[in-house]
Structure 1
């Protein structure tokens, strides 16, 4: 499996920033979910690169989907009015995971 390129990392960083903004989360929330040592974006990207190295692109997408599910569960406990936005965000991550699986030949 090929490592992530500089362009891949730029795309991943842009995706993370958009995802966090649209889901109302912060880099600190992502740090906690990843159990990373810092909230700095390079550290978060390094953690995600490690996941990619061990589990591939599908594993990386699955991990991000799992984080989204975790956040959705947390939010449903206290802010039910945000559920439609979170469902849209989760749906987008699921579509991304499906596309990655199709590209990698999995079903």
Structure 2
């Protein structure tokens, strides 16, 4: 299983903090999107490092892009004044993404 170097982890942490600040999101939002056990940055980084270990840099980028798309969808729905018809639909999409990552 591949792991990120300490320099790569530092870069990822810096990226995450800037990304969250830029999007107006919090570590709690990221925790929910990652389904991590804590909002603490080491836990979030550990979850992303596991993604990297399974799927490499491409998988890590795809996961972060998926989170960005999810957040944009939530913002779009909130702006339209509609609720999600199927709150489990997002889980289904995540499951499909995980299966696709596991079976290239």
- Into which bin does the TM-score normalised by the smaller protein fall? 0.7 to 0.9
Count how many residue pairs are aligned between Structure 1 and Structure 2: 80
Aligned counterparts, 1:12-27, within 5 A: 12-27=12-27
Query: How many Å apart are 1:79 and its aligned residue?
Result: 3.5
User: Which segments of structure 1 move beyond 6 Å, counting only runs of 4 or more?
Assistant: none
Give the equivalent residue in structure 2 for 1:101: none
TM-score by length of 1: 0.72
Secondary structure of 1:48's partner?
A: helix
1:83-98 alignment runs, 5 A limit: none
Measured at CA, do residues 22 and 79 of structure 1 come closer, stay the same or move farther in structure 2, by a change above 3 Å?
A: farther
Residue 38 of structure 2 is aligned to residue 38 of structure 1: yes
What's the TM-score, normalizing by structure 2? 0.74
Q: Report deviation, 1:29.
A: 0.3
1:58 aligns with 2:58: yes
Deviation of the 1:2 alpha carbon: 4.3
> Which residue number corresponds to residue 9 of structure 1?
9
1:65-84 correspondence runs (5 A): 65-79=65-79
1:47 aligns with 2:17: no
Determine if contact 2:27/2:39 at 8 Å carries over to the other structure.
yes
Unaligned runs of 5+ in 1: 81-107
Structure 2 regions of 5+ residues with no counterpart?
81-104
